[in-house]
Amino acid sequence: MSDLHEMTALEQASAIAKGDLSPVELTEHYLARIAKGDKNLGAYLTVTGELARSQAQRAEREAVAARRDGVRLGLLHGVPVPVKDLVQVEGVRCTWGSAVFTDHVSDADDHVAVRLREAGTVMLGKTNTAEFGLPCYTENRLGPPTRHPLNAGRSPGGSSGGAAAAVAAGLAPLAHGTDAGGSVRIPASACGLVGLKPSRGRISNGPWRPDVTGLSVHGALARTAADAAALVDVMAGPMPGDVYTAPGHPGGTTLTEHAHRDPPPLRVAVLREPMVPGAVLHPDCADALEHAAATLAALGHELQELEMPPDRRVLEAFTRVWSVEAASYEVEPEHADQLMPLTVWLREIAAGVSAREYHAALATFRGLGQMLTDLLFTTYDVILSPVLAEPPVWIGELRNDVNPADEFARMTEFMPYTALYNLTGMPSITVPLSRNAGGLPIGVLLGTRYADEALLVSLAAQLHDSGRRYALQDCFRPRHQHQGPQPGGLSGQK
């Protein structure tokens, strides 16, 4: 079958459970597509063909036995799922996106790798990432940059850019990613995918690099909200030694179930203006927000504009914590010259961050989360905002190896919305609804209160399905073609 990659991940899993599709056949299909299509794309750093075939054969044996014995298989049994190269898998190369670790092979699994294997998924390989996941692009010194599947000169974003490019190009049905400031949602938006960042503690970060800051979480990139929810369901659950653990979903249900249920009418706060000083919202991204707002209004949700003025103290706190994260990787002095200039600059900042300043920065994050919980989410159910302040940029446009301080400032202006949910630990999800006049995807971002991913994926699925129908009716046009405010959009909500 030549169209296997056009099926959703859940459709593939269903076909495997029924015996209509073999995990071996599906895995070979994707390995062939990777061999042919990834040479210029750069989505994968390591392709694990031998391991994938072995896991697919095991998944096939288990599927045959399950059909014989009347046993129900897992949500994504037999479905290929690549993992981002920030995750350790025993016996597989793990570079953390850095030339320093080009030849490093992991001697143990991270918990998320264990979850994926136990769920019967097949690991195609390790997807490309920025060095240590620090920048919001996917360019490193291990090889060529990851390219946008729709425009080879553009960046797919980062740091899970390899994962996004793989899914968007049909080199994987869905993919694992990590997100500490937007690294799942940024490339998902840029590549026209759903990107789900779950609540802090939903998926174990242990055991080898537990994130004591609470910023980083494992997440999912997929073509549908239901697929993304299924991958989070598979990866979720507490593990011994976890720093954070999130409570279960209402009634013991799964996220996948909620992705197939419409939400009740919701109160939606629309956050238009960037929360980073100096950031300016591009007209294409403003149009995508208008389109999403109009769709939500048509679905019966109540919208009201919200202002959250930029606060430089939050940016300064994030910079301190981010720099300490960059410095947490142990690099021998003789290998320091292999680090990216941005990484070097951040590690230098970290050397001047005192324990008191670090504690104060983390306290700032906790205070922001408490403020949203006590004030905003007692009035509203969901926040709607752009994902990015700009459409996908050219490869190299965000990098500034000569002046990393300017690079960092440029990146914060490019991605002024996503980090809010990392600072607070709350869940958020990107929804692909629009494309600009150049054909580049422009997503929107939904966020909600802590541990309420069920509401979030329900709304995202509803918005995605309805938004695509709305777009087919040509209700969304680039700003330069606007004849006036869109009915039911932001212009009509006060």
Could you give the angle at which helices 225-235 and 9-18 cross, rounded to 10 degrees? 70
Give me the amino acid identity at 316: E
Which residue, among 265, 260, 235, has the nearest Cα to 111 in the 3D structure?
235
281 Cβ neighbours under 8 A, 6+ residues apart: 272, 273, 274, 386, 389
- Can you tell me the distance from the alpha carbon of 337 to that of 404, in angstroms, rounded to the nearest whole number? 15
Q: Which of 183, 204, 434, 458 is catalytic?
A: 183
- Residue 267 backbone phi and psi in degrees, to 5: -95, 115
* Residue 39 is a catalytic residue: no
Per-residue exposure over 276-287, b if at least 16 CB sit within 10 Å of its own CB, e if not = beebebbebbbb
- First vs last C-alpha separation in the chain: 52
Q: Give residues with Cβ within 8 angstroms of 304, minimum separation 6.
A: 267, 268, 269, 270, 380, 493, 494
| Distance in angstroms (rounded) separating the CA atoms of residues 276 and 415 | 9
- Could you confirm whether 159 is annotated as catalytic? yes
SS3 343: helix
Among 155, 159, 199, 428, the active-site one is 159
- Whether residue 84 lies in the annotated active site: yes
3-state SS, residue 308: coil
Q: What residue type is assigned to position 470 of the chain?
A: Y
Catalytic, out of 84, 98, 160, 204: 84
Euclidean distance between CA atoms 232 and 252, whole angstroms:
15
> Token digits for 104?
């490093």
Residues designated catalytic: 84, 159, 183
